[in-house]
Structure 1
C-alpha cells in the first residue's frame, strides 16, 4: 500500500533486477559528520594488523560518553557492514576506561567507513538455498587475558545472512582448541538458522 521498500530503521534498501542491496550510506554520512571526521583523510582498513591494545593503565583516559557513543553508532552500522564487525567488537571492550589510543583507533574505523560509504550487502535473486558457514579464530591474541576472538559468517546460497565476531569465554591452550570452540559456536548458530 505504501509502495516499494526503500528505507527502514536506518537501512537503505534498493531493489534492482539482480536483487536487494542494503546499505546505510546516509547513516554513515551523518555519523562521520557528528563526530567531526568528515574532513579527515580516509583509511584503507578499519584497523591496523600489528597494534595490540590492552586495558593497561598506560595513556591518558578520555571521555567515556563520547567513546561509548562512537562504539554504539558503529555497532548499529554492523547491521549492513560485516567488514567492520571484528574491529568494532575489539574496541567495544574498552568502554569502561577508554584511553587516547583506543579513541584513535575508533576514529580510524569511522574514517574507514567514510571512505567506503557505498558499501553494503547484495541479496541476489539468483541464489540457491544451500546453507553454508565459515569460521576462524585467532589464538590467544588478547593482550590482557590471552583469550581468542572467534568469527563466523553464514550464507544461504551466495547471500550473506548472518555474521559474528566474539571473544571466547575461556583460554585455549592451542590453536586446535580455539578452532574447536568456534566451530562448535558456529554449528549451534547453523542449527538455529535451520
Structure 2
C-alpha cells in the first residue's frame, strides 16, 4: 500500500517561524514536536510577517505591504504628497548626465526599500531596476524619478497580489518581451518576464541583458531563453513536491521571427551570436517540452517590465492584470 505524502514548508527568520503545509494534522503534530524542544508562542494564522500583510477571504489570499509603504513615505517626509497615476513621467529617459544628488546615501536607502516592495508590487519593477543602475553616483534627475515613484506608491497603497485557488489548473504560462537597446547609457536591452501558475502570478523580473544585442530578434531570443530556464526550474521543483505539470508550458512572444527560429533551426548573420540559446530553445520545442505562441503587442502584459515610456492605457490595464485590490480588514 502506497503511503500518503505530505508537503511541509518551514521558513525561519531569526526568532520568527512560519510553518505551512498540505495537511493540518501534520502541521499541528510538527508544532507540538517543536514545542517540546523550544519555548514557542503560536500566533495562529499568519496576518503579518516580515513586512508582508496577509488577508484572506472567499476569493483567495492577498499579499500587500501597505504599512511598509506608509513608513517609507514618512521616512522621506512624503506622507502628504500628491499621488500620481504612473510610476514614471511619460517621455523621460534616465541618463548618467546632470547635477549630482547632494544626499546619495538617502537615495541608496530608498532604492533598497523599493527593491523589497517589488515582491508585492510588480508594476514598479522596471523603474526600480532603472534607478538601481545609478546607485554609485546618483544625479538630481534620478532623485526626481525616485520621488515620482514614491508618489505613485502613495496612490496605490491598497493594492497587492491576489492568489486564488486553482487545484485543477497547474499549467505554466510565460510572457517574455524586451526593450531593444533601451538603456541610453550602455545601449543594452532590458528583458521582461512574468510566469503564471494557472491564473496566479508566480515570478516576474525586469533586468538589463549582459550583452549588447545588434538586432531586436537577438534580444528577444535571449529573453525567451531566460523564460525557458524558469520553466525548467519550476517543472523540476513541482515534480519534487509531488505536483508534476500536466500540460505543456506555453511561452508567449510578440515576435514572429523568434518563433520561426525556434521551430526551424536556421542560422544567418543575425543569429550567429545566440547559437547556444537557439539550440537550447529549439531542442525543448522539438521535444514538446514547451510551446511558443504569438501574442499581439497590444496584449503583451509583460510590456510593463520593459518600457521607459508607459502609456496610460498600458499602466491601468497591466496593473489590473497583475495586481488585485486589497481592502483593509
Give the TM bin, normalised by the shorter chain: over 0.9
Give the counterpart of 1:91 among 118, 127, 131: 131
Check conservation: 1:67, 1:95, Cα contact below 8 A. Answer: yes
- Runs of 4+ in structure 1 over 6 Å off: none
Give the counterpart of 1:135 among 176, 181, 187: 176
Matched, 1:76 2:116: yes
Q: CA deviation at 1:89?
A: 0.6
Structure scoring higher RCO (CA < 8 A, sep ≥ 6) equals 1
Per-residue CA shift, 1:73-110, capped at 9, x if unaligned? 10000110001011101111010100111000001111
Distance in 2 (alpha carbons) for counterparts of 1:91 and 1:46: 12
What's the RMSD between the two structures over aligned residues? 1.1
Partner of 2:215: 174
TM-score normalized with structure 1 length: 0.96
Partner of 2:165: 125
Partner of 1:190: 231
Matched, 1:31 2:31: no
Unaligned stretches of 5+ in structure 1?
Answer: none
Distance in 1 (alpha carbons) for counterparts of 2:207 and 2:102: 25
Structure with bigger helix share is 2
Partner of 2:190: 149
Distance in 1 (alpha carbons) for counterparts of 2:111 and 2:101: 16
Partner of 2:107: 67
Distance in 2 (alpha carbons) for counterparts of 1:144 and 1:85: 19
Q: CA deviation at 1:61?
A: 3.1
| Higher radius of gyration, 1 or 2 | 2
* Paired positions, count: 193
Q: CA deviation at 1:60?
A: 3.2
Unaligned stretches of 5+ in structure 2?
Answer: 1-41, 236-329
Check conservation: 1:18, 1:126, Cα contact below 8 A. Answer: no
Give the counterpart of 1:50 among 63, 68, 91: 91
Distance in 1 (alpha carbons) for counterparts of 2:148 and 2:101: 18
Check conservation: 2:100, 2:137, Cα contact below 8 A. Answer: no
Distance in 2 (alpha carbons) for counterparts of 1:12 and 1:182: 32
Distance in 1 (alpha carbons) for counterparts of 2:180 and 2:84: 26
User: Helix, strand or coil: the match of 1:152?
Assistant: strand
